[in-house]
A and B are shown apart, each in its own frame.
Chain A
Amino acid sequence: MLLPIKWLKDYVDTDKSSRELADGLTLSGSHVESIDSHDEVINVVVGKILKIEDHPNADKLVICTVDIGTDELIIVTGAKNLTVGDYIPVAKIGAKLPNGIEINKTNFRGVDSFGMLCSLKELGFHDNVIPKEMKDGIFILDKEYPLGKDILEVLELREAVIEFEITPNRPDCLSIIGMARETAATFNYELKEPKIEIKNEVDDIYDYTNGISVETDKCQRFYSRVIKDVEIKPSPLWLQTRLMEAGIRPISNIVDITNFVMLEYGQPLHAYDLNHLNGKKIIVRQAKNGEKLVTLDGNERIFDQNDIIITDAEGPIGIAGVMGGLDSEITNETKIVLLEGANFNSKNVRLTSKKLGLRTEASTRFEKGIDPNLCSVAVERVCQLVELIGAGTVVKGSIDVYNEVKEPKKITLRPERVNMLLGIEIPVEDMLASLNGLGIKSTFDGVLIHAIIPTFRLDIDIEADLIEEIGRLYGFHNIEPKPLLGGLTRGEKPFNLRIEDKVKSILQGLGLNEVMTYSFISPKAYDKINLPEDDSHRKYIRLLNPLGEDYSTMRTTLLPNMLELLSRNYNRGVESVYAYEIGNTFIPKNLPITELPDEKKVLSIGSYGDTDFYELKEIVEITLSKLGIKSYQYEREENNPTYHPGRTARLYSNGEYLGIIGEIHPDVLENYDMKARVYTAQIDFDKVVELTNLEIKYKPLPKYPAMVRDIAIVVKEDVLVGDIEKIIMKHGLGLIESLKLFDIYRGSQIGEGLKSVAYSIVYRSYERTLTDDEVNEIQDSIIRDLENSIGAKLRSI
Chain B
Amino acid sequence: MKEKLQEIRNLAIDSINNASTLPEIEELRIKYLGKKGELTNVLKGMGKLSAEERPVIGQIANEIRNEIEDLIESKNKKLRSEEKAKKLQAEKIDITVSKKSKRVGHRHPLLATIQELEDLFISMGFMVIPGPEIETVKNNFDDLNSPENHPSRDLSDTFYINDEMLLRTHTSPVQIRAMKEYGAPLRMISAGRTFRFDDVDDTHSPMFHQLEGLVVDEKISMANLIHTLDIFIKELFGKDMKTRYRPHHFPFTEPSAEVDVSCLKCRGKGCPECNYTGWSMELLGCGMVHPNVLENCGIDSEKYSGFAFGMGIDRITMVKYGIKDIRLLFDNDNRFLEQF
Contacts and interface: CB of A to CB of B under 8 A. Distances in A.
Contact of B255 (A467, A574, A577): A467
A490 B162 contact: no
Contacts of A633: none
Interface stretch (B22-30, B78-86, B89-97, B213-221): B213-221
Given A569-B333, A572-B333, A578-B103, A476 B305 contact: no
B159 A599 contact: no
B134 A554 contact: yes
B10 interface: no
Interface string B210-228: 0000010111111110111
B176 to A, nearest CB: 14
Contacts of B215: 484
A476 B222 contact: yes
A545 B106 contact: no
B320 interface: no
B124 A491 contact: yes
Contacts of A486: 185, 217-218
A454 interface: no
A133 B226 CA distance: 54
A515 B330 CA distance: 8
A501 B191 CA distance: 14
A606 to B, nearest CB: 10
A354 B151 CA distance: 10
Interface residues of A, number: 89
B125 A491 contact: yes
Interface stretch (A6-14, A65-73, A164-172, A772-780): A164-172
A551 B275 CA distance: 36
Nearest to B257: A476
B255 A423 contact: no
B221 A421 contact: yes
A464 B135 contact: no
Contacts of B156: 354, 545
Contact of A517 (B155, B219, B332): B332
Given A28-B247, A516-B111, A519-B193, A494 B129 contact: yes
A29 B224 contact: no
B288 A516 contact: no
Contacts of B228: 484
Interface residues of B, number: 85
A467 B291 CA distance: 12
B111 A26 contact: no
B51 interface: no
A241 B338 CA distance: 56
A574 B333 contact: yes
Query: Which of B111, B122, B134 has the most chain A CB atoms closer than 10 A to its own CB?
Result: B134
A494 B149 contact: no
B244 interface: yes
A384 B148 CA distance: 39
Contacts of B333: 568-569, 572, 574
Contacts of A20: none
B315 interface: no
Contact of A593 (B165, B199, B329): B165
Interface stretch (A401-409, A506-514, A708-716): A506-514
A569 B224 CA distance: 48
A17 to B, nearest CB: 15
Contact of A472 (B155, B160, B221, B247): B247
Contact of B223 (A422, A510, A584): A422
B133 interface: yes
Interface in A555-595: 565, 568-569, 572, 574, 577-579, 584, 586, 592-593
Contacts of B38: none
A515 B246 contact: no
Given A483-B227, A541-B161, A543-B161, A508 B222 contact: no
Contacts of A593: 161-162, 165
A259 B247 CA distance: 30
Interface in B115-169: 115, 118, 121-130, 132-136, 149-151, 154-156, 159-162, 165, 167
A489 B333 CA distance: 41
A586 B150 CA distance: 28
A519 B222 CA distance: 36
Contacts of B245: 476-477, 479
Nearest to B124: A491
B2 interface: no
A514 B132 contact: no
A512 B199 CA distance: 31
B290 interface: yes
Interface string A185-207: 00000000000000000000000
A468 interface: yes
Contacts of B48: none
B201 to A, nearest CB: 12
B134 A541 contact: yes
B104 interface: yes
Contacts of B151: 168, 350, 367
Contact of A482 (B227, B246, B335): B227
Interface of A: 26-29, 31, 34, 167-170, 346-347, 350, 354, 367, 420-424, 459, 462-465, 467-468, 471-472, 476-477, 479-494, 496-497, 501, 504, 507-520, 541-547, 551, 554, 565, 568-569, 572, 574, 577-579, 584, 586, 592-593, 596-597, 599
Given A346-B149, A518-B330, 7 more contacts: A169-B249, A462-B254, A467-B255, A491-B123, A501-B115, A568-B333, A579-B334
7 contacts: A420-B305, A459-B249, A479-B226, A481-B223, A481-B230, A574-B335, A579-B332
Q: Which 6 pairs across A and B sit closest by C-beta, in order of nearness?
A: A423-B223, A423-B221, A511-B103, A29-B247, A491-B122, A468-B255
